[in-house]
Amino acid sequence: MSTLFSTNPSPPPLEDLRNKIHFPFSSSVLAQSRVERIVFLCAWLCVFNFSFSEAVKEISLTVGFVFSLVLVGHHGWKAYLARIVPWTWPFALFVSLSFASGIHSINTFEGLRGAWGDFETLMGLVLFSSAIGLSDRKGEVFRGLFVALLGGLLAGGCLSLWEMGHYHKENLGIMNLGDKNSSAQFLSYVSILVFFFQANKSRLSLPYAAFPISYALIAVLLYFCHSRTFILTIPFFLLLMILILKWWKTLIAWMAALFVLLGLSLVNPFFKWEITSILRPTADGSFESRYPTWEGAIRMWKAHPLLGIGPDNFHMPNIHKIYNLPEYASHGHNIFFNLLGEYGSLGVLSFSLWVAVWGILTVRSVRKKELPLISLALYIGLMADLVTSGIAHPMWGGTGSLAIMLILATAMNARIGSNAPTLSNGQTDSGLSPAGPFQNTTTRENR
């Protein structure tokens, strides 16, 4: 009777509740969300410390890579590999040959250490492509990376400028980036990335003032680096990128700004010499001093034509003695000769194949409207930088290589907001559709 007239009937079995109630967030979805946050945090820390702390950069890169693999597992390996492998298989081949070259080297430990640096570059690509391409909040990720990139540069640059003044150094070397030329090389890569963010400032809700400030920061740091090559090449490839996007008003403004900066620079006696000597690169002997390093790289290649002497071996004392290198030859002072001497013919071919495949896929994707025109501008800008600056500088290795991976990951995921195709349901494609990076999802809205 008590059961018959009870006002509180016993609850239905737990299994019935699970069947009747829909939980919008399962435990796997929540776990995936946490992993996405960890991956983004690691990418943010890594980018911030490009120009600040080497230790934090290495730790965040390694941890982020591990969690990126977990995140890819949540989304599905098949779709991820189907998208990323066509772009990167030649580079993976280059990394494999780097390890073979390291084992082949007479300085095996140093060679394998250099090969590990190349593998870290591949880890960086996985981290950055996962943080950007596997997020349904791509705009927020890009904004965060922009803040990290410029924030780290500002912090590292200011501390390095103070150190330069305090210790009366002639040239600026930014924190963990090394000497003036390595710092200027990194600034060239930052310029390419800032250009991308400028092209998407409205889609990313970035303030207009952020870009004059960014370019001013780059210009000030470049000034104190006193690297003539990059003083010439950075304006050159930025002009190429402006022409590709047909920004005619920006082109006029940029040319006017260059002439004003040129006039102001000529007022400074030191910088006047820097500017005028660009037209006479052999006047002071600094360009001709690179000839012995090039000759040494050719001797290395003749002795080890296939795999070279091993990654990051150019600076080793026994290598200097064996191949009669000048004391200042810490690297090949040329991207081609540096790769040829350290990686051999196979390394040069695999590296060249990678940049060629990148270009072919970019052109094809832009023609099919799978990627916006800015992806092509990023590629052309980077190639112009590697070719022109690479005449006098190695352009590969360390933080610079990671910056190139960030450029590649950005170019592969450059569709944001209004430059993404509209789907049949009225939403914008976040770039995760079969035509876009990594995933077969077509309903996520880019926020």
Q: Classify residue 304 as left (phi > 0), alpha (psi -120 to 50) or beta.
A: beta
Report whether pLDDT(336) > 70.
yes
- Name the residue with higher pLDDT: 332 or 40: 40
CB-CB contact of 206 with 197 (8 Å): yes
Q: What is the pLDDT of residues 197-233, one digit of tens each?
A: 999 999 999 999 999 999 999 999 998 998 888 988 9
- Residue-wise DSSP of 198-252: HHTTTTTT--TTHHHHHHHHHHHHHHHHT-HHHHHHHHHHHHHHHHHHT-HHHHH
Please say if the pLDDT value at position 444 is more than 70. no
pLDDT band at 26 (very low <50, low <70, confident <90, very high): very low
> DSSP string covering 29-48, please?
HHHHHHHHHHHHHHHHHHHH
List all residues 6 or more positions away from 321 whose beta carbon is below 8 Å from its beta carbon. Answer: none
Using only C-alpha atoms, the chain has a radius of gyration, in whole angstroms, of 25
Q: pTM for the full model?
A: 0.86
The burial of 364, by beta-carbon neighbours within 10 Å (0-12 exposed, 13-18 middle, 19 or more buried), is given as exposed
- Give yes or no for a contact between 98 and 115, defined as CB atoms under 8 angstroms apart: yes
Tell me the per-residue pLDDT of 393-433, one tens digit each, with 9 for 90 and over.
888 988 999 999 999 999 999 988 644 543 333 444 333 33
Q: 112 pLDDT exceeds 90?
A: yes
Domain residues of the chain, as ranges?
Answer: 35-246+287-416
Does 33 or 21 have the greater pLDDT score?
33
